[in-house]
Structure 1
């Protein structure tokens, strides 16, 4: 009878996510993850070919969690209200998971069939709401406009660079209102 597994892919991803959020991407090594789940590093290689495979799985998992938040935020809402709720969910996700968020938007973000599919799935709720608002032909361009605003705002916020005073939450709400109004009317 084979020995029972001492860990699972899910447990490994939970440990990797904790390390990532606590110490950043540089601290995410196979040794650190193995230590966190209580196995030796060779055991991890039975589940993930190496660090790059683990990072791809972690990125896919992060995208799935973000997509679930966006989908949940849109439930039962009209397209414009869904998009506003999704914008707030996106910001909350980025604030609660700054290192995971940075990983999915890094220039060296993982490429590959699985991660690309996870990326498409994550944005599907927003694309659906945008298509209902502006039509399928304009949805992708509108998504890029909205994403550029959201990513810029939360990246500056996560870096602690809003230092000129004022209410940052109000600035975010006002920005979302302006961007969505522009998308809706075709001015963005």
Structure 2
């Protein structure tokens, strides 16, 4: 008789996501994940080929989280940007992982679709991709700098965020 399954792939990914936030990427080891889900490390390899696959699965799950958050907005560019920023604040290590890894191929498209739609409403269909890249770069850069503590000149970051986002939307709409 085969041994009973002690953990599922979903449990492995969830535990890995938690460990990533708690310990950073260096702490996300196969041994740590195995201990978290209550199996021996060799048993974990029945679910996940290696650490690279584990990181891909965690990045994909993070992308799904972002996609769900974006889908839960009213679809306007400011709402999408705020949802993405919220994800970065709630899950900073997953945010960074999304920028440095390759999730499943459908994940970036799922994240991009609502942004492309919102941007198209502002700029029209001729420059949608360019405008979406511009927006993504600004929002990602702002959040990355926040997470790194790189805004060192003082001032109110919420005011800076609102100012930048307002100007970004106005500039895109004006360029139509």
TM-score range, shorter chain: over 0.9
Report the counterpart of residue 79 of structure 1 in structure 2: none
Q: Which region of structure 1 is more displaced relative to structure 2, 160-169 or 20-29?
A: 160-169
* Structure 2 Cα separation of the partners of residues 4 and 103 of structure 1: 33
CA offset at residue 11 of structure 1?
0.7
Rounded to whole Å, the distance in 1 between the matches of 2:161 and 2:136 is: 13
CA apart distance, 1:137: 2.9
5+ long unaligned stretches in structure 2: none
TM-fit CA distance, 1:133 = 2.8
State the match for 2:11 in structure 1.
11
Q: Distance in 2 between matches of 1:44 and 1:125?
A: 36
Name stretches of at least 5 consecutive residues in structure 1 with no aligned partner.
Answer: 76-81
**CA-CA distance at 1:41 after TM superposition:** 1.3
Task: Tell me the secondary structure at the aligned position of residue 68 of structure 1.
Answer: helix
Aligned residue among 124, 142, 156 for 1:167: 156
Conservation of the 8 A alpha-carbon contact between 1:67 and 1:124? no
Match of 1:68 in 2: 68
TM-score between both structures, scaled by the size of structure 1: 0.88
**Within 5 A, what are the aligned runs for 1:26-105?**
26-74=26-74, 82-105=76-99
Question: TM-score under structure 2 normalisation?
Answer: 0.94
Tell me the distance in 2 between the aligned counterparts of 1:40 and 1:6: 10
The equivalent residue for 1:142 is 131
Shift of 1:152: 1.0
SS in 1 for 2:15: helix
Q: Where in structure 1 do 4 or more consecutive aligned residues deviate above 4 Å?
A: none
Distance 1:29 1:181 in 2: 45
Q: Secondary structure at the match of 2:83?
A: helix
1:109-166 CA-to-partner distances (Å, cap 9, x unmatched) read 22xxx62211111121111222233223322111110011111111111011222221
